[in-house]
Structure 1
């Protein structure tokens, strides 16, 4: 399914929530910059000098795996294991951590251990996963900082399958924990859990079109409603939701079938009683509950999650092919029944006793298998059915497909393999890892100096050099470590044809770089960044300052066959306030969209400010637009943007939905034009404070240095080799 890039939601868009205090509660329409600082170093107890990669080198991986394997079979009185096996619980915990990923903006996923915090720790779909993390804590306590929660959660889920008999594909360590809720991430505008279609603030519109960038069908779910669309069983309609939501998680049809079936090959569903009798979720629980939620004194209710009750297979603690065999064997006998919790589920009207799983607590009692609407979709949807039939008839194909899909599910937001650590990393390069070959040649300092001169003499303007480097680097997303300048994929499909990259201007620049690359063997990726660096240095020098802009060579050039065109469409720049570009008007304001891109680039509010102000005067606007170019010295890195913005001799007059004139108060003459992105640096009190600083008479050199630092940060955002 191709990416749909209409924007009706972004991480900084939405109403004020109850936990917002201070100015935002009083003025909810004011631009909230908190998302740029949501993981301030002050909240991290490990300190700025902590190096997780170094700690991982001390980890005894085999001892850790053995401890997890022992835990999986060591049933605890305070939370008894289903069928004496915690594998299903651990797999669900890992699935729901990694499954929150969304390909549209790379947010969510398993890379940060954010399931420990609200809202994810209290989502209805994550009910009782707090127990899974408590079961894991003795292991975390033992190994300490040598293993992050993010790694441990996903390893435990992987071990759940390995201990059940699956040959897993591999595992990489390297995920670093966050220490504060990602409360500014946009999970939807609904004001209630599990709000059905048509309710206020719902994420669906038109002909079942899901709001971007969301992937789950309801607030509080990971992907689909197991009872069917809005709780109404209809496998064909559910299949449509599955295809949408799994594609939003970066999965194709085969991966979807493998993950659903494999996810339901071990473990069971829980709905053995009235869910209304279960206590509050962790964030709303009593202080005496010590962070545990969904409390009940009735053991039959203790594990209620989806409300559906029953196991999918005959042996819920064993990796086998029973899911497909039983699904097809009893295809004509499945009927909708109600669970003890009142949920709608599918059960065979009759079953052979040898196919019936034992009761989770009493092995002498036999129960019917239970399927949810998503399971039934695997045989009712024609395309899913073809895949399901193949997996039913070929256990090895199913094993391999699930192992690979599980690895992708749990690793796709880790970025390239250079970020992987540990002895379990598979050798194969996978296309979704966005592989990049090593550079053919890394230039020396003397050669770099010569290359700068050649690039500056090529006929490309300062603005063209800067814009090409920026467009190459701006695709980087710190959410899932995709994109960036390394690989120079800007010269490949689909990026070379994106409107936001100005294809005609881009080809002019690429012609220069490709010719130079052929002559020197230096990668186009390095030359693009070097061209921008040389242009920034010259612009600083022309402003009268001597500030060196560091350049680190060593990038490679990716090949077209190493590039997943469909997947890269999710990185398409449909808005970029740094270059004053929007593909069209969207519901979030341009300044909110600017924050979205700045946060994905890992920028602070100060870095965002200097980059916008600098890129404007360098002439790097999309389409050579004059909006925000508050200077008559284009191509020189001056503070003119800020000086003219805060000059009270000027006034601003709207001329359209997103356009303004800057008018001289005395003469009435229009001096400049602007967009909301430009004006927000004068209207927002925090951003204006920064703008006034850089407008000071003594700020020129500081601005040049701050711009250079922020520029290098963006250019090197994907150079993980520089951060080891």
Structure 2
């Protein structure tokens, strides 16, 4: 045998330890866990955007800093900037207003009601993938133009607030009376690696021409006009790299009615009704122009993969000056109105007054122009004295063709004041929909109104809340009802678990668990008798206590008793002050989106949902819910282990209840989960149900679902479960479970906790 060790060592000396065939690019696939194990459970997303990524530090108080800046001076600075054109990126019509409206709209327009993700709240437009979507072409220039203002006000002004406020200021200088502005958006500090944006496979070419990426059969089901025609949940855009719909119509084919179908579905997914949809489209297109002077295949790569010397700017345009008259965004060229920097009703008037015919832009995109040669012209954005034909997109003609949208348009045509108010309110909703309770809104221009149902309004909180003595009396009264620990805890958790940190909706405050639609959800049937008993306590109580507080207090009583029965005296924190929402102030349709399809915490899988068949296993949805609740991995593990031994299964089944002492806060779930003398066997062919068998006898000890076994099968979760299963793990588990329980009960209490970072670990 030849000894070649010295030869190999010599050959490797001075070489990069990461070979070209190992680091991706043209020479190979990247050595990532996702590449090797595409179906792995990415538990690490629970620790995404944590405090270690935040340069401002955990103790920075944004609300305080924002309140101390000179708001009027800030708005004056923004408005001065809007009418001061920069040579490196000149404004259209000597006014950056339309450009900044688009930036703010596209920052907010990613919001989707299905899971509350997206929106302007964390300024994710700065990061991939949103920063590099084709539909966000040149928004990087808009933010770079704003950088001097951001630097002037520093940490007291987040990018999220600056972008939305700039959009508001732009509307104001162009004549629209805005409905209000609430600050309080807290910036994220890293790219979003958790949100599912669609099934399409991305490649560099699609970053420059989304038509190459349209693959509707992956994202849509059925065909336009069919009863089952719909968009895959939780998506809201018609295809990858768009905010809403293809302006040229589905597949770029220029069919206005098919475009209207897509518009209705996508805007509904973004929480807008028909009137709000028309108001936003017609109002937004009253301003500015679209850009399509350069073919898409000539445009450079988006910011995320642009050359380093571009310093974060993408979509390099090599034609002419690369900007101004040569600018390229979505490929469509022209303006909708004769006065693109003034708030008026010309958009709707021209849309309905004239007939429109299709043509191609200089970039080759399909658009529409008036048939009548005497139709009004629009001034060129950069060439003095030049007048151009008006332009409409297929998505504009859709408003004229669709019968329901047409009715709304005709109302707005007859009443410009109505249109003005509708657009102002819709814009306010668009830019604030993801902010959650109005307790989070900051600044002197906040608008709160009972008719804004999307704000999930709550009645005013009483200045006096129940004290310690009253709490003790109420706890005794709750115990005296004889309601089981399991049922009390189940009801409290069911009220709180609706919370999602994405748009700060849901939670126990308001007691909407007792209102439609939540009271009628099958998963909440177990709560009905408990709520009835708690109403009785409320009626007999001599003081003033809300049903919402009683629901949460009942859960705290249950956990305290369960811990004591396990041999540990551990007080469970309770913070009163919740109020009860009114049914008429509850938007039933929008709350229906919070109804769970899969809830791993309560071991629920909708019987109509075949998760494996849909390609998403229950444990993936369970992880997604933990992420939406802003839980860390240890919190997720501890919380689930406690819920199982208390038996918070929605149907009271014994799946995952790995204990013979139900209702006692033991660590039995973890002890049995990792017991090497027990083995798990698949009970059904789909791998959704399992039995835990004694290795020696073969006897079945327990049954389980995927939402139970994942805490033993996933390496990261098992490592935590082993801590709680150890001989010294019980006390630690009880402490951690109570802390996680209290966190869940307080998730929506922004009246108490104020502004919190997007993700707190």
User: Is 1:437 matched up with 2:459?
Assistant: yes
For residues 83 and 22 of structure 1, the distance between their equivalents in structure 2, rounded to whole angstroms, comes to 48
Deviation at 1:456, TM superposition (A): 1.6
User: Is 1:699 matched up with 2:729?
Assistant: yes
For residues 211 and 197 of structure 1, the distance between their equivalents in structure 2, rounded to whole angstroms, comes to 16
Q: 1:678 to 1:427 in 2, by over 3 A?
A: closer
Q: Is the 8 A contact 2:359 2:367 kept in 1?
A: yes
User: Is 1:255 matched up with 2:276?
Assistant: yes
Structure 1 counterpart of 2:433? 412
Structure 2 counterpart of 1:329? 353
Q: Is the 8 A contact 1:196 1:218 kept in 2?
A: no
Structure 2 counterpart of 1:592? 620
Instruction: Describe the superposition over 1:208-250 as per-residue Cα deviations: whole angstroms up to 9, x where unpaired.
Output: 3210000000100000000011101111111010000000000
Q: Is the 8 A contact 2:286 2:346 kept in 1?
A: yes
Q: 1:197 to 1:385 in 2, by over 3 A?
A: farther
Instruction: Describe the superposition over 1:556-610 as per-residue Cα deviations: whole angstroms up to 9, x where unpaired.
Output: 0000001000010111122110111111322211110101110111101111101
Structure 1 counterpart of 2:34? 24
Deviation at 1:473, TM superposition (A): 0.4
For residues 452 and 51 of structure 1, the distance between their equivalents in structure 2, rounded to whole angstroms, comes to 35
Deviation at 1:309, TM superposition (A): 0.2
Structure 2 counterpart of 1:530? 553
For residues 128 and 19 of structure 1, the distance between their equivalents in structure 2, rounded to whole angstroms, comes to 30
For residues 438 and 382 of structure 1, the distance between their equivalents in structure 2, rounded to whole angstroms, comes to 41
User: Is 1:681 matched up with 2:711?
Assistant: yes
Deviation at 1:197, TM superposition (A): 8.9
SS of equivalent to 1:701: helix
- Aligned Cα RMSD in Å? 1.6
Instruction: Choose which of 157, 180, 183 in structure 1 pairs with 2:190.
Output: 180
Q: Is the 8 A contact 2:437 2:750 kept in 1?
A: no
Instruction: Choose which of 240, 253, 256 in structure 2 pairs with 1:232.
Output: 253
Show the 5 A alignment for 1:565-644. 565-584=588-607, 585-586=610-611, 587=614, 588-644=616-672
Deviation at 1:19, TM superposition (A): 9.8
Q: 1:660 to 1:20 in 2, by over 3 A?
A: farther
For residues 296 and 661 of structure 2, the distance between their equivalents in structure 1, rounded to whole angstroms, comes to 68
Structure 1 counterpart of 2:14? none
Show the 5 A alignment for 1:298-377. 298-299=319-320, 302=323, 303-330=327-354, 332=355, 334-352=356-374, 355-377=376-398
Structure 2 counterpart of 1:132? 142
User: Is 1:506 matched up with 2:522?
Assistant: no
Q: Is the 8 A contact 1:268 1:310 kept in 2?
A: yes
Instruction: Choose which of 66, 86, 89 in structure 1 pairs with 2:76.
Output: 66
For residues 347 and 198 of structure 1, the distance between their equivalents in structure 2, rounded to whole angstroms, comes to 25
Structure 2 counterpart of 1:455? 478
SS of equivalent to 2:252: coil
Q: Is the 8 A contact 1:197 1:230 kept in 2?
A: no
Q: Is the 8 A contact 2:317 2:328 kept in 1?
A: no
For residues 631 and 279 of structure 1, the distance between their equivalents in structure 2, rounded to whole angstroms, comes to 61
Deviation at 1:300, TM superposition (A): 6.3
For residues 267 and 500 of structure 1, the distance between their equivalents in structure 2, rounded to whole angstroms, comes to 49
For residues 389 and 40 of structure 2, the distance between their equivalents in structure 1, rounded to whole angstroms, comes to 56
For residues 639 and 359 of structure 1, the distance between their equivalents in structure 2, rounded to whole angstroms, comes to 72
Deviation at 1:25, TM superposition (A): 2.7
Q: Is the 8 A contact 2:63 2:442 kept in 1?
A: yes
Deviation at 1:296, TM superposition (A): 2.2
Deviation at 1:547, TM superposition (A): 1.5
For residues 141 and 201 of structure 1, the distance between their equivalents in structure 2, rounded to whole angstroms, comes to 45
Show the 5 A alignment for 1:146-295. 146-192=156-202, 193=206, 194=210, 199=215, 202-207=218-223, 208-295=229-316
Q: Is the 8 A contact 1:191 1:201 kept in 2?
A: no
SS of equivalent to 1:337: strand
For residues 230 and 265 of structure 2, the distance between their equivalents in structure 1, rounded to whole angstroms, comes to 9
Q: Is the 8 A contact 2:211 2:252 kept in 1?
A: no
Structure 2 counterpart of 1:8? none
Structure 1 counterpart of 2:125? 115
Q: Is the 8 A contact 1:278 1:301 kept in 2?
A: no
Deviation at 1:21, TM superposition (A): 5.0
Deviation at 1:495, TM superposition (A): 0.3
Q: Is the 8 A contact 2:109 2:243 kept in 1?
A: yes
Deviation at 1:196, TM superposition (A): 7.1
For residues 324 and 301 of structure 1, the distance between their equivalents in structure 2, rounded to whole angstroms, comes to 32
For residues 656 and 83 of structure 2, the distance between their equivalents in structure 1, rounded to whole angstroms, comes to 64
Structure 2 counterpart of 1:4? none
Instruction: Choose which of 731, 745, 748 in structure 2 pairs with 1:715.
Output: 745
Q: Is the 8 A contact 1:34 1:184 kept in 2?
A: no
**Residue range with higher mean Cα deviation, 617-626 or 271-280:** 271-280
Deviation at 1:198, TM superposition (A): 7.8
SS of equivalent to 1:230: helix
Aligned length in residues = 704
For residues 30 and 752 of structure 2, the distance between their equivalents in structure 1, rounded to whole angstroms, comes to 38
Instruction: Describe the superposition over 1:660-707 as per-residue Cα deviations: whole angstroms up to 9, x where unpaired.
Output: 000001111100000111111111111110111000011111100100
Q: Is the 8 A contact 1:272 1:300 kept in 2?
A: no
Deviation at 1:200, TM superposition (A): 8.4
Instruction: Choose which of 393, 405, 414 in structure 2 pairs with 1:384.
Output: 405
Q: 1:655 to 1:250 in 2, by over 3 A?
A: same
Q: Is the 8 A contact 2:292 2:363 kept in 1?
A: yes
Q: Is the 8 A contact 1:197 1:204 kept in 2?
A: no
SS of equivalent to 1:392: helix
Instruction: Describe the superposition over 1:331-353 as per-residue Cα deviations: whole angstroms up to 9, x where unpaired.
Output: x2x10000000000010123436
Structure 2 counterpart of 1:496? 519
**Residue range with higher mean Cα deviation, 248-257 or 178-187:** 178-187
Q: Is the 8 A contact 2:565 2:665 kept in 1?
A: yes
Deviation at 1:397, TM superposition (A): 0.6
For residues 554 and 651 of structure 1, the distance between their equivalents in structure 2, rounded to whole angstroms, comes to 47
Q: Is the 8 A contact 2:298 2:318 kept in 1?
A: no
**Residue range with higher mean Cα deviation, 440-449 or 582-591:** 440-449
TM-score (norm 1): 0.95
For residues 166 and 343 of structure 2, the distance between their equivalents in structure 1, rounded to whole angstroms, comes to 16
Deviation at 1:436, TM superposition (A): 1.1
Q: 1:345 to 1:122 in 2, by over 3 A?
A: same
Deviation at 1:455, TM superposition (A): 0.7
Deviation at 1:289, TM superposition (A): 0.7
TM-score (norm 2): 0.91
For residues 700 and 183 of structure 2, the distance between their equivalents in structure 1, rounded to whole angstroms, comes to 57
Q: Is the 8 A contact 2:216 2:239 kept in 1?
A: no
Instruction: Describe the superposition over 1:101-143 as per-residue Cα deviations: whole angstroms up to 9, x where unpaired.
Output: 0000000001000000011110000000000001111100111
